[in-house]
Each structure stands twice: as C-alpha cells, then as structure tokens.
C-alpha cells in the first residue's frame, strides 16, 4: 500500500480508504463478516476508514467501532465519519447547525467506541444554515479534543471557496479536505471542485470511484450481467433505468473492452484513473464482501499509460458527468420553490 498526505494536515493516509457504507443493513448485515473485511483491509496496509452516522442508521459506525475495539488498531487508523443527514424523527436531528453537530458528534463517538474522531465531515451543504455557524461549531469541537480535523463532502466549488474565505475572515478552523463523487463516468468535478481543492491545499477523497458498480466489470458488449444489488433495489421500487444510466452502461461496455486491451481489470483501471489525478489523496472503496475487497487492493500499483488515458477521454470527455444524478447534490436554486415559476 502507498500513502499520501491528507491536504496540509501532515497526516499520511493510504491511497485506498475503506468506505463502510455497506456494513450493516444497507449491505452486509453480518457484523462478524464486516469486521473480518475491516481487519483484512488493515492487514493490507489501509489505515483510513470512512463511515457516516446515516449509514444503516448508525449501525456502520458500530461495526467500525467493533473492528477497532483493540486499542492498538484504533491508534493506527485514521477514522472519518460524517454528519448532516436525518437521524430519527426529531425534525432538528439533521443538518449543519451547531445544535445538531455538537449533539451528534457525541452519538458518533459512542457508536464508534472512541474518545476522538480523526476527521469529522459535513455530509452535504445545508442551505438553511450559515457556513460560519457550522465552521464555528467544528472549530470548538477541535479545541475540545473531540475531533482532530474537519472536512466537507459533496460541496460545490463555490461553497468550498466561501468556506475557506469565512474561515480566514472569522479566524476559524477550515475544511482540510473534500469528499466528492468522482469516477471515469462522473468527471464533473474536474471542472471546478478539483482545481479549487488544489488552490486551497485541500485533500480530496472521492467516493464511488466504481460509480455504484457500473465500473465493476459487469458490463461487456453482448453479455447480460446478473442483477446487481442496485438492480434489485430498482426492481423493488418498480423503477426503470434512466437515460443517464443507459449512457453509463454503454460507456462501461466500451471501457471493459479498453481495459482488456491493456491487460487490466475494469476495477483496477477505474481506481487507478481516480488516483491518477494530482488533486486526489485517497479513493474510497466500499466493499460489501471479502471478494470485492480483494479485487480492489491491487489498484494503487497500477500505472495507466498516456494512450489509455487518451482512450478514456474519448469515451467520457474530461469534466463530464454522463448522468446528471451523479453530481450527488441538487442545488437549492433548481428546486421548484426557488425557480421563477
């Protein structure tokens, strides 16, 4: 495993970050098996784990806590979690307010079974809350020793800039990293988020580098793949594949042929592509099974030749999301109540 410095923190993290979203009811409900996956990742050199309070309503954090209950393991791991999403029925048990953040960090500490959180991230922007209130609350949590650093997740570029300016003007702590959606099929952040992160020395830890399974190698021309977890969920809702998803499927088939031509798996090519960008610190992988984890551990050793990168650009141009839904966040300005009609 190779390591990179997270922004300007001086903290070295592995090029692969173990995402824990699939641990619990959302993915793998077997706690023992999930703990085994965590331990295998640590044995492979991964020292960075990312979870969130909303993942299986806190169950993911509890599983991570179990896996790190050995004090030595906890000391050697950079643990990241997030807050913002709705937790429970209380209408104020969500968002980016001081009231909620200061309460929810205690809940996450308890579920994780730890005295401190290395990286506490704001899961999404909150249009109802001033960013200076959020930064002020997070700064106080750092001073109290409950968190070490804080960052953002899926923030648009202009809000990242605003947060940096507010932090400077108000003498507050700043976001040290951003966690955006990024993959070969979702390259929108190349236009603005990644350059902004580089400008401000922020680390970047992309989520969904395999684009929710579209880049798992399932799609090959002329081959009908077995239904995925996402396919089964869609079928249960009675939904059909969107035009954007159809476009991604077609591109994934071309990318599968391209990977084979260069002697790579699609998974290795997809992860190596994300890690190849100079702004990226660590790519978040989200295995549900041990087999999925094993298939992704070799990616940091893969080097993509220029010819392959050019061929990828021909399939999915730089700065383009094939599916608008992959942006991860709908700007409030596009919601019906804010439009002119």
The total of other beta-carbon atoms located within 10 Å of residue 185's CB is 29
What is the pairing mode between strands 203-204 and 177-179?
Answer: parallel
Nearest 5°: the CA angle 166, 167, 171 is 115
Look up tokens 């968002």; give the residue: 95
Nearest Cα residue to 328 out of 199, 121, 210, 179: 179
Look up tokens 């979702």; give the residue: 186
Cα distance between residue 58 and residue 279, in whole Å: 31
Q: Are 87 and 53 in contact (CB under 8 A)?
A: yes
Does residue 55 have an active-site annotation?
yes
Cα distance between residue 108 and residue 117, in whole Å: 9
Of the candidates 55, 120, 149, 200, the residue annotated as catalytic is 55
The total of other beta-carbon atoms located within 10 Å of residue 311's CB is 17
What residues are labeled active site?
Answer: 55
């Amino acid at each position: 495993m190779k390591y990179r410095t997270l922004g300007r923190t001086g903290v070295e993290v592995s090029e692969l970050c173990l995402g824990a979203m699939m641990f619990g009811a959302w993915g793998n409900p077997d706690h023992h098996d999930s703990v085994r996956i965590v331990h295998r990742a640590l044995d492979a050199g991964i020292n960075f784990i990312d979870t969130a309070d909303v993942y299986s309503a806190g169950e993911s954090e509890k599983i991570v806590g179990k896996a790190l209950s050995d004090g030595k393991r906890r000391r050697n791991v950079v643990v990241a979690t997030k807050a913002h999403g709705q937790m429970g029925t209380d209408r104020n048990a969500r968002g980016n307010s001081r009231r909620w953040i200061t309460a929810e960090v205690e809940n996450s500490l308890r579920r994780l079974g730890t005295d401190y959180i290395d990286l506490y991230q704001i899961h999404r922007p909150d249009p109802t809350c001033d960013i200076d209130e959020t930064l002020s609350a997070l700064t106080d949590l750092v001073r109290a020793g409950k968190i070490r650093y804080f960052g953002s997740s899926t923030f648009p570029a202009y809000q990242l800039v605003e947060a940096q300016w507010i932090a400077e003007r108000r003498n507050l702590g700043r976001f040290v990293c951003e966690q955006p959606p990024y993959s070969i099929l979702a390259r929108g952040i190349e236009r603005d988020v990644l350059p902004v992160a580089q400008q401000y020395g922020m680390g970047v830890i992309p989520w969904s580098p395999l684009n929710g399974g579209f880049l798992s190698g399932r799609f090959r021309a002329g081959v009908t793949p077995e239904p995925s977890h996402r396919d089964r969920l869609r079928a249960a809702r009675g939904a059909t594949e969107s035009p954007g998803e159809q476009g991604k499927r077609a591109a994934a088939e071309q990318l599968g042929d391209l990977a084979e031509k260069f002697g790579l798996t699609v998974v290795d090519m997809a992860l190596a592509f994300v890690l190849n960008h100079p702004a990226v610190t660590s790519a978040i992988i989200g295995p549900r099974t041990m087999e999925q984890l094993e298939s992704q551990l070799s990616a940091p050793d893969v080097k993509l030749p220029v010819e392959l990168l050019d061929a990828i650009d021909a399939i999915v141009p730089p700065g383009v999301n094939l599916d608008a839904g992959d942006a991860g966040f709908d700007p409030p300005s596009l919601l019906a109540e804010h439009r002119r009609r």
